[in-house]
Structures are given as C-alpha cells and as structure tokens.
Structure 1
Amino acid sequence: MNVDVLVIGAGFAGLRTLHTMRELGLSVAVLEAGDGIGGVWNWNRYPGARCDVESYDYSFGFSDELQQEWRWSERYATQPEILRYIDHVVERFDLRRDVHLNRRMTRAEFDGARWRVTTENGEHWSGQYLVMAVGNLSTTKAPEFPGQSSFTGRILHTAQWPHEGVDLDGQRVGIIGTGSSGMQMTPVVAKQAAHLTIFQRTPNFSIPASNAPIDDATDAEVKAHYAERREAARNSPSGLGFKPSRFSALEVTPEERRATYEAAWERMGFGFILAYYDLILDEAANDTASEFIREKIGAQVDDPEIREKLIPRGFPFGTKRPSVDSDYYPTFNRDNVTLVDVRTDPIERVTPTGIDTASGHHDLDVLVFATGFDAMTGSLLRPEIIGRDGRSLREHWVAGPQTYLGLFTHGFPNLFVIAGPGSPSLLSNVLLSIEQHVDWLAELLTHMREQGADLVEATAEAEAGWVAHVNERADATLYPRAKSYYMGDEIEGKPRVFMPYVGGVRGYRRILEKVVADGYDGLDFSAVRARV
C-alpha cells in the first residue's frame, strides 16, 4: 500500500500524527504491532497502573472541544481511564480507519525517494515520509535467571499484562523490580495476595501522588482556564506548568527551605525537582532535598531494618526518574509483605516452586517482572532501518543515538522520530512534547510543499553540533552521576550516553523557533522524481 505518511505506532504520538497529517491533506497509514490502539496503555494493564502526570496535562491540547467534553475522574488517571480517553479520541476524530493492527515493522529501507516498509506478516508498505512514533518506554526488558523455565507457576511482565486480567487473590506473588511499575502495583497486589515478596535491587526516590477524585468544582475551574494552563505548561521547563523557584536551595533559611519542601511533597509529585532551580545542578543543593525525602520515606516504615533497605542512597534525587506513588512505603508494614534486598541477598536461581536467594527459598505461585524497558532507543533499533548507501540506523547509532533536534538523523531522509533521543522526551510531560513535535513537523511539511521539496535531511554538521550540545547541557547537571535509563544503564552493553535533552520544554521550543527563523538551519531540502 502506498501513502504519503507511514506512521509506526498507534499510541498518543501516532494518533496525534495521524490526525495532524490528515489535516494537511496527506494520506496516512498507522502500523501498530499490537492488537489494540493505545501504545503503552494498551500493553501496561498491571494492577495499579496509572500516569505520573496530572490527568488534565496528560491529554491532548489540540482541540478545545475535546478538552471541554472529556471528564477526568482522578488527579492521576488509571490505565483503564486513559485507554477510555484514547478510544474516545479515536472515535471522535475517526482515526480507526487508518490504523492497521498486528503489523509489526521489521524492516524499513529508503530507496532514494520513498521508504519501503516490511511487516512481520510479510506485508509491504510505501510512504514518502516515515514517522517513528514508537514511544520511549515500549520495548520490554526481561531478565533470564538460571532455572527460570522450570518454574511451575505463572510468569508475567508488567508491560505485557494479559488483557483478561489476572486473579491474584490468595496467591503467593513475587515482584522483581521497584521502578515506577513495581511501586505502583505493590500496594494493590499486597491487598489481594496471600503473601507478596518484593525483590529490590536499587531503592529509588518517590514522591506521594496525593491522588484524589476530581470534584465538579475543580473540573469546572480547570476547564474555565484550560488555555492558560496549557500556556503555562508550554512555558515551563518540564511541561508540567511548575515554574522553578528563582532561589537556590542554599540561599534560603532552613525554615524556609523546609516549608517549601513540605508544600512540594504534598502537591508537586514529579515536579518536586523544581522546588529550587539548582536541585539538579548543585550537589549541595540536591543534598538538602535528598535528605528531606529520605526522612519522609523513613517516617512511613515501622521496621528499622526494612526502613534502611528502602531509603535511596548513592545518587542525587532526580537523576533517576523519581516515582510518584500511592501508599507504597506503608505497604511494607503489612504482615504479608516481605522485602528482599538482592544487593546483599542476590537471586541465585528460579526453582519449580519459587526463587532461591543466598539466604534461602521464597515460595511463589506467580512471578512478576517489573523490570522496565530498553528505554528511548530500544524500539527504534529493534527493526532494521536502512538509510542512504545501505547504512543502518544501528550502525549509525553504534556509539549512542545521533540526532538533530531529536527529530532527524543524517543519512535518513524523511525519517522523523517523535519525542526521541535528543529532545526533552522523558524529562518532560511527554504528551506536550509529542504535540510540540507533531505541530512543528506539520509546519515543516507545509514549507516543503510550498518550496517544491520532496526530501529533508539533517546535515552531518548540524547533527554533530546538536549531539555535542545535548552532552554539554547534560554534563552541567548531576544526571550523569546516577546509573539510569537516561544514561543507557538499564541494558548491559548499551552505550553510556545521556539521551534526553535537559534544556527544558520552553528552551527547546525556542530552539525550534530559531531553526525556522534561520531558514530551517541544519536541514537540507531536495526534489526528486517520486517513484511508487
């Protein structure tokens, strides 16, 4: 099938791209590997799954009518509610007819004019433009332990949760991993399971979600000022609307700092890092926040030995993406919950009846991997993507992702990545970053049409300059101090480079605006006789 735009992925990014490119009068086909629309929210159905950005902000802003008609029920929406919202968007804008499910892209090759795509089921597709809307957290990572195949119970992954659900009542459940997924599901599973064992490698910082139902008065107030709320988000570093304090954490009195942190603890969630402007820049400033959060975590846990295992140390707050939790730490006060610190008590093998660690055996009926993803580049490098002169994206990115603005890669004309490495992506409200990219691309394609250009490609110089700029900005922060998926540390052998852009949503937007003002600086345009 031949179209103007081939979009890979039917999550938020793919759906927004589909709608916007249609508005330009382009023909679009969305290829989705899964059996349903929704991207990560179609896969992540584990108990307790919810977003860590407030519902009003974790939504599309392109339609005033959509904003006014949709009614969120909670401050932080659950997976089922987010999926209902996605389905509503799909039906309201008639998007389903251009989404093709169960079409995993295995290969894409640029033939000099168009992208030729092959899917896992052997279909062939062709598009002038190829948009990778595959998400930053979509290729799962599952460990392999000795003896794993011998386990007679059930093995699950949080990002591949059965659509029909899983009955955990009365079961002995083990969860490996205490990132966002593990921390979200732990309190829910603990109330269902006969016994829950948490296998933790590295404790992470977490801020309370302070989740609550949204009453009618709050809903009306937000919707009356939605435009201002969106504008504040666009002009904030994170896309959450929180403006960082103009003060250093070190230039205020301890009493003032404590009051600021108390307020942030009660309300800001992921935005806690913005309580002072230098928390991610200065280690001494960060220490004040880290110690406050450690104190708050410790106050929720009764047993001193368990408390010490749960308190994060050895890396600055915010350098790993903080979690936003609902009653995670008090769960360890329950009699039916056990914490295993695998740093001091490592997993040795999986047996038919559970897991052996150095200290003994843990009986399990269900084993859950909450082990996360091959972040940011995993879904981009999984298929074979061949650009000019037969060079693959894997070859081009062998030392880490090389992009211009996070959107373009030299040698791969008309290939665009939505919220990819080298853009604010996972350091931002990704919904806002997605819309920022899609709208900017729409302007770019309109410009190309007006100029009679068929191809656009980043120059090698622009790409190298942008990669250097991304690294320079990251090196001025504390981020490289931690082992994190920001740095590629989640996969053994992955190049250790900082992948998102730390310049913030507002700063990044200004760069995009300057690129346009300078005549699309860093991009080469050309015309070809298109072949189909």
Structure 2
Amino acid sequence: MTEMPTPQTFAQSPARTMPPPGGVDAVIVGAGFAGMYMLHRLRGLGLSAVVFEQGTDVGGTWYWNRYPGARCDVESMQYSYSFSPELQQDWQWSERFSAQPEILRYAQHVADRLDLRRDIRFETRVTSARFDEAANRWTVTTDRGETVTARHCVMATGCLSSARLPDIAGLEGFQGATYHTGHWPHEGVDFAGKRVAVIGTGSSAIQAIPVIARQAAHLTVFQRTPNFSIPSRNAPMDAEYEGWWKSDYEAHRAKARMMRTGILYGLNEKSALEVTPAERQAEYEARWARGGTAFMASFADLITNRDANDTAADFVRDKIRGLVKDPAVAEILAPKGYPIGTKRICVDTDYFETFNRANVTLVDVRDAPIEAITARGVRTRHGEVEVDAIVFATGFDAMTGALTRIDIRGRGGLGLAEKWEDGPRTYLGLMTAGFPNLFMITGPGSPSVLSNMIVSIEQHVDWLADCFAHLRARGLETIEATREAEDQWVGHVNEVADRTLYPAANSWYMGANIPGKPRVFMPYIGGVGAYREKCAEIAAQGYPGFRLAAGAQATAAAAE
C-alpha cells in the first residue's frame, strides 16, 4: 500500500465539537459505510449530528466480520465510495477482491481523512428511540444511560448485522470454545491441532472453511442446505485494470449506478435458451474462468426463466462433481431443489476442493440431523462428533433484525417490531408510515442486499441529504410516508419479486433462516438503476407519497 496523502488535501468540514447530551439535528445509529457517509453529508449541510456505534471503531460489517477468509464479493475497484474523486484516485487496493483487514483499513482511512470520529460515540448501543408527537422530535436512549433528542433519526444499522445462533439444545453446556462468524474475536483464533466443527455452509462458511481446514487437525462441516458458489479467481490487483478504472472513474461509476446490481460488468442480453448448447457452454466456461458473481450475468433470463436457470445450475453442479473426488460427497455438495442465484450466490477460493482433504469430513444434516450440542461436541442421529471448538456460520436476522431489536416507537406509541409483525412495510425502503423523520438506509423494500451495497448506500444518503435540505429551506419539521404510498410500494415490491425465481427458495432474503419470521421477500429486485430513477422522480415532484408538514400542521394531521 502506498502512503496516503495527508488529511489536509481534503476540503475539511467546519470544526464542531461532540454535541453534549441534548438536542441535535440528527442521530445516526451505526458507523459503518452508511453512517460515516451520512455524517459527512450532514456536516456539509451545516447540521449537527451524533453517531452511536456499538463497536470500538468504524467499519460496520467489516469491523465485526473478521472470520478466517472474510472477503468482499464485489471487486475492489467498485467497492468503495465514489463521492470524493480524491479518495478514489489516492487509495490503492492490493487485490481484485479485498479481504476484511484491507476494507477495514479503508474505512478507518476515510474516518481519519474526514475527521469523523469526533462525532461518533463508540461502545454505545442504542436501546430505544421514541417519537414525541408534541415536539416532533425523536428521543434516543443508549445502554450507557444517555438520552439525546433529534429532529431526524437515521438508522444506518446494516442489513447483515444481527447475528443469530441456532436454537440447539445443550449449547450452553459445551466445554470447548464457540464462535460466530459475524462476531469474530478481534485478536483472531488459532485452530492449530484442534478438532473443529463448522455449522452452516452459507457465504461466510464457504470463505472460512478452506482456511480453517488448513489450520485444524480435523474439520467437520455440518451442512443443511448446499449453496452454489463460483470461484473468485482472486489475484493481486492488475495495474492495467486499476488504471482503466482510474482513467475515467466518474463515467464508469455513472454507468454502474444504472446497472441492475449497481456493479459494472458485462451482461449478456441474450436468453440462455436462444443460443446453441455449445455457445451456452462456452459462455458459462468463460464466466467460470473469470470468476466472481458476474457468472449470473451470463444470460439475461437466469433469474426469471426456470428452464434457462436450470442450464446454469446444471453447469455449476457438473463443475462441483469435477472438483470433488468422492462422488458421494460431491452429490451432497451439489445444490438441488432451488434455482441458482435465488439464495445468495457465493464466491470462494478452493471451497469444493477442500472436501478432498483427508482432515475434512462433511455431515449432511438432512440425513443426520443435529440433536444436541454436548459437553464434548455435536450429537447427530448417527452419533456424537467430538470437537474442541464450534464455529457457527448460521447467518443473520437479515434486513430487519438490527431494527426490530431496538425499541423504536412512532405515533401513538406503535412499536416498529409490532408494525412489522407480518413482515416489513416501507415506502421505497426509506421510511415506514407512522414513524415521522425516521429513515432507514438500504432498508427492506430497497435494492439493498441484491446490489453493490456502497452504491446503494450513497444513493440513499444523497437522497436523504437532499430531503433534509428541502425541509429546512421550506421551514418544514416532518416528513412521513403515507400508508397509501406504503401499501402501493409493498405491492409493487411483491409483484416484481413474483416475476422472478427468487421466491422459489427458502432464503434469508425471505426470512426463512429465522424460525417464526414471516416469509416475505424483503429486498427490491427491480434493479438499482430503475430504483434510482424512481427515487429521483419522487424528489423532483415534491415528494408524493410523503406527508411534509410544519410543526402545527404535523400535529393536526396526526390527529385526523
């Protein structure tokens, strides 16, 4: 990594000390990429803000997820902020797909360059947020006993930040060490000479398993549902490729923002069914050789046409059978019963090859269900597997968990968790009716987890910043989604999802990994570009679907 320019090369925001407990213009919950950029934009508007962050530093997802092999599945040249031309040109990524430590260093670098930490209260968890209808302000309380009031409350809590442990009997009695990939010890873990169990085979497990297997004396992987994974083909950053991006970053970014996923890669506009079998095979082979999630852009109809999707799924299953030497193990690892891409498509380095190692055992939980965690290991229907450590790669209460675990109450004391009891309801994924001036960055009902998250984060933050400026310029105190607009948007999100194959899978997109959680497709699959245009249109038309009001008007409207 080359030496970074000094902070003085950036245009600095006006100096502002940490606001004391009391009133601020905005409270931001979370200091990941969303919270950091929101703070920067608010400063640029001259608004006061305080950020509450549970961790000891910035970084969000990349602060917590430090498991072995943790790496981004979006290429480094696109997984970064675009708001600062200086930052884009100055920062140098070392690999095509950056690992967690480097992404965290990038987040810390941005915090240093923009002097963000002085407005962030670390090691502080928000426990409640309540809307005061008389004052049109939010009262936010933390686990440190602090109370702050704010005109606006911005939830930058992340979509994959509420880690979950499975409800397995006996867990508390296990005498070895336990870990969750989403809350990994910052000092790291040494598995040398140990017998390790990994429970789960989602994205984090697929990245961690090859690394743990190289360390452990023996690794036992407990798989319930196999996942499709594409090799990353990660490599040191190619200087020519980096130069291509930096030669016209602005134009490349502008094009990416209008792509369905917010990622610039070549989408084949043809159907998988309109080409010859040889042409189809050649396209898949080329994408497989290139590596990464762009495999799903091999043809235009892979997420809408089951017959087309089957051709891609069959291709990947055949690749798995070729990589795994034991045919029985290969069949257990080959996903069946759901279309490729309808669960999060994974990216790996030597994942399937890891099961050729003599020190790795695969347990099919569908054939041998886990009955209990014992003092010495994991007991299945077929017997006990003794281990020294258990790694839970069991995912998150995605998209809603980080919000509903906070006691958020809007008009009439209505709790957000109560309102969302049958599934999340939002307008544009930005607001929910009955909760004035409460905003969600990449919330349910937005492209969010189906997109390059930083592209979606910047779009949401910029939209909110423009909205705040609009309110202030007109002397307005509140903005609130109407129930009619919310109903229409929820209906649209569902309608678009139903045109695709996504609802065919029991995925965390549907909340299927959380017992009792409503089965609702949570992100918006209409595409980043179409969504961006819709949001821009709404702002340009004076925010239809939102009720904007001054103080007295807001109170009167609520009483109607």
Q: Which category describes the TM-score, using the shorter chain as reference length?
A: over 0.9
Match of 2:104 among 83, 89, 93: 83
Confirm or deny: 8 A CA contact 1:13 1:133 kept in the other structure: yes
Tell me the distance in 2 between the aligned counterparts of 1:270 and 1:331.
Answer: 20
Query: Match of 2:456, as an amino acid?
Result: S
Match of 2:431 among 408, 415, 418: 408
Tell me the distance in 1 between the aligned counterparts of 2:174 and 2:464.
Answer: 49
Deviation at 1:228, TM superposition (A): 2.3
**Which residue of the partner structure matches residue 226 of structure 1?**
249
1:74 equivalent in alignment to 2:95: yes
Cα RMSD for the two superposed structures? 1.3
Tell me the distance in 2 between the aligned counterparts of 1:267 and 1:107.
Answer: 47
**Which residue of the partner structure matches residue 315 of structure 1?**
338
Unaligned runs of 5+ in 1: none
Match of 2:201 among 160, 174, 178: 178
Match of 1:10 among 31, 40, 62: 31
**Which residue of the partner structure matches residue 433 of structure 1?**
456
1:337 equivalent in alignment to 2:369: no
**Which residue of the partner structure matches residue 415 of structure 2?**
392
Tell me the distance in 1 between the aligned counterparts of 2:350 and 2:252.
Answer: 28
Match of 1:472 among 495, 503, 512: 495
Query: Match of 1:110, as an amino acid?
Result: F
CA distance 1:237–1:268, shift in 2 (3 Å): farther
Deviation at 1:146, TM superposition (A): 2.0
**Which residue of the partner structure matches residue 357 of structure 1?**
380
Match of 1:105 among 112, 126, 146: 126
**Which residue of the partner structure matches residue 276 of structure 1?**
299
Q: SS of the residue aligned with 2:293?
A: helix
Tell me the distance in 2 between the aligned counterparts of 1:285 and 1:7.
Answer: 44
Higher alpha-carbon deviation: 417-426 or 385-394: 385-394
Query: Match of 2:122, as an amino acid?
Result: L
Deviation at 1:198, TM superposition (A): 0.4
1:463 equivalent in alignment to 2:486: yes
Q: SS of the residue aligned with 2:161?
A: coil
1:35 equivalent in alignment to 2:56: yes
Tell me the distance in 1 between the aligned counterparts of 2:165 and 2:288.
Answer: 33
**Which residue of the partner structure matches residue 400 of structure 2?**
377
Give deviations 1:161-181, integer Å, cap 9, x for gaps: 111111111111110010011
Query: Match of 1:63, as an amino acid?
Result: S
Tell me the distance in 2 between the aligned counterparts of 1:434 and 1:203.
Answer: 30
Give 1:62-211 correspondences, 5 Å limit: 62-112=83-133, 113-211=136-234
Query: Match of 1:66, as an amino acid?
Result: L
Deviation at 1:529, TM superposition (A): 7.0
Deviation at 1:120, TM superposition (A): 1.2
Query: Match of 2:510, as an amino acid?
Result: M
Q: SS of the residue aligned with 2:118?
A: helix
State the 4+ residue runs in structure 1 displaced beyond 4 angstroms: none
Query: Match of 1:511, as an amino acid?
Result: K
Confirm or deny: 8 A CA contact 2:199 2:392 kept in the other structure: yes
Confirm or deny: 8 A CA contact 1:35 1:102 kept in the other structure: yes
Q: SS of the residue aligned with 1:299?
A: helix
Deviation at 1:16, TM superposition (A): 0.8
Confirm or deny: 8 A CA contact 2:96 2:238 kept in the other structure: no
Tell me the distance in 1 between the aligned counterparts of 2:294 and 2:508.
Answer: 19
Confirm or deny: 8 A CA contact 2:77 2:242 kept in the other structure: no
1:259 equivalent in alignment to 2:282: yes
Confirm or deny: 8 A CA contact 1:346 1:357 kept in the other structure: yes
Give deviations 1:108-147, integer Å, cap 9, x for gaps: 0010211000111211011100000000000011013222
**Which residue of the partner structure matches residue 290 of structure 1?**
313
Tell me the distance in 2 between the aligned counterparts of 1:37 and 1:102.
Answer: 11
Tell me the distance in 2 between the aligned counterparts of 1:497 and 1:184.
Answer: 28
Confirm or deny: 8 A CA contact 1:40 1:137 kept in the other structure: yes
**Which residue of the partner structure matches residue 8 of structure 2?**
none
Higher alpha-carbon deviation: 189-198 or 509-518: 509-518
Confirm or deny: 8 A CA contact 2:162 2:396 kept in the other structure: yes
Tell me the distance in 1 between the aligned counterparts of 2:475 and 2:95.
Answer: 48
Q: SS of the residue aligned with 1:483?
A: coil
Tell me the distance in 2 between the aligned counterparts of 1:441 and 1:267.
Answer: 37
Match of 2:75 among 54, 57, 62: 54
**Which residue of the partner structure matches residue 389 of structure 2?**
366
Q: SS of the residue aligned with 1:128?
A: strand
Q: SS of the residue aligned with 2:508?
A: coil
**Which residue of the partner structure matches residue 22 of structure 1?**
43
Tell me the distance in 1 between the aligned counterparts of 2:245 and 2:533.
Answer: 27
Deviation at 1:443, TM superposition (A): 1.1
Confirm or deny: 8 A CA contact 1:236 1:243 kept in the other structure: no
Confirm or deny: 8 A CA contact 1:237 1:243 kept in the other structure: no
Give deviations 1:178-209, integer Å, cap 9, x for gaps: 00110000111111111111000000101111
Tell me the distance in 2 between the aligned counterparts of 1:146 and 1:503.
Answer: 41
Unaligned runs of 5+ in 2: 1-20, 554-560
**Which residue of the partner structure matches residue 44 of structure 1?**
65
Query: Match of 1:401, as an amino acid?
Result: P
Confirm or deny: 8 A CA contact 1:453 1:527 kept in the other structure: yes
Q: SS of the residue aligned with 2:148?
A: strand
Tell me the distance in 2 between the aligned counterparts of 1:500 and 1:332.
Answer: 33
Query: Match of 2:228, as an amino acid?
Result: F
Tell me the distance in 2 between the aligned counterparts of 1:228 and 1:207.
Answer: 28
